[in-house]
Amino acid sequence: MSRLIVNADDFGLTAGVNRAIIELHKARVLTSATLMARAAGTEQAIDLARSAPSLGVGCHVVLVDGEPLLKPKDLPSLVDQHTGAFQPKLGAFLQKLLAGRISETEIEAEAAAQIALLQSRGLHLTHIDAHKHAHMFPAVLKPLLRAAKAAGIRAIRNPFEPAWSQRATPGLQLVRRFELMLTRRYEPEFRRLVAEAGFATTDGAIGVLATGTLDATTVASLISAMPDGIFELVSHPGYNDAALAKVNTRLLASREAERNSLQKIKQFPAVELVSFASLHTSAPEHPGN
């Protein structure tokens, strides 16, 4: 049987992103969203999530391209002390990470703070992932797993795109194929660490390689090619409004296209749409949730 989690990242980024996510959930094509703990639309997103209990909500842990919840002085390796913000680009973050110059203790503390804020607002978090898929790297994954486990969370995004999904992505650029080849070497370690921590995950993420180009044709191609198993369709829907234009993101016009393209899922009624909650129904709940 094919089961699909349709997840929207960046819940809380702007009011337009929040609106798109709730509309798609009400249209029964989006089952899950990951919420940013500190963004312009976070408070609204929390209220919307609490009013839509059928929407699975996870924590979109931000460690790059954003601002921390903890004080910058407590995150000397993670935060630019002059700006008080995280590294604005993933490349700069990875350069420090792979050189061993980012503290796992700081990652764990900041992730725990972000998770705790959302849980303190009454949200039962179904899973975690990391902004820009930073948790594919072991030095980020390990402290994230510790923070999530301590908070009673037992599911995490598998950020690696399967080979069949790569083949089913139309017009995939050579540079994206090369990036896939480089990052796939981390997949065995990811699966080992997740299993050892007792976490549930999917058989892979689809749509990651199509980020910025995920149109209706691509959605149809991916779902048509999907084998038995449980996969996550990663999406970034939204409204390209004035608030989004002020955000440091390359995903502007593409958010409108993704919002429209997800309607294509209705043409595949044989695919069971689920959320991350179905992966860990036996996991213990966080106290107070």
Question: How far apart are the C-alpha atoms of 248 and 208, rounded to whole Å?
Answer: 19
Measured over the CA atoms of residue 217, residue 223, residue 224 and residue 226, the dihedral's sign is: positive
Query: Please, are residues 29 and 245 in contact by the beta-carbon 8 Å criterion?
Result: no
At position 263, the amino acid (one-letter code) is Q
Global pTM? 0.92
Q: Which domains does the chain have, with CATH numbers?
A: 2-279 (3.20.20.370)
Over the chain (289 residues), the average pLDDT of each successive run of 10 is 94 95 97 97 97 97 96 96 93 94 98 98 97 96 98 97 92 69 88 98 94 92 97 93 68 79 96 92 36
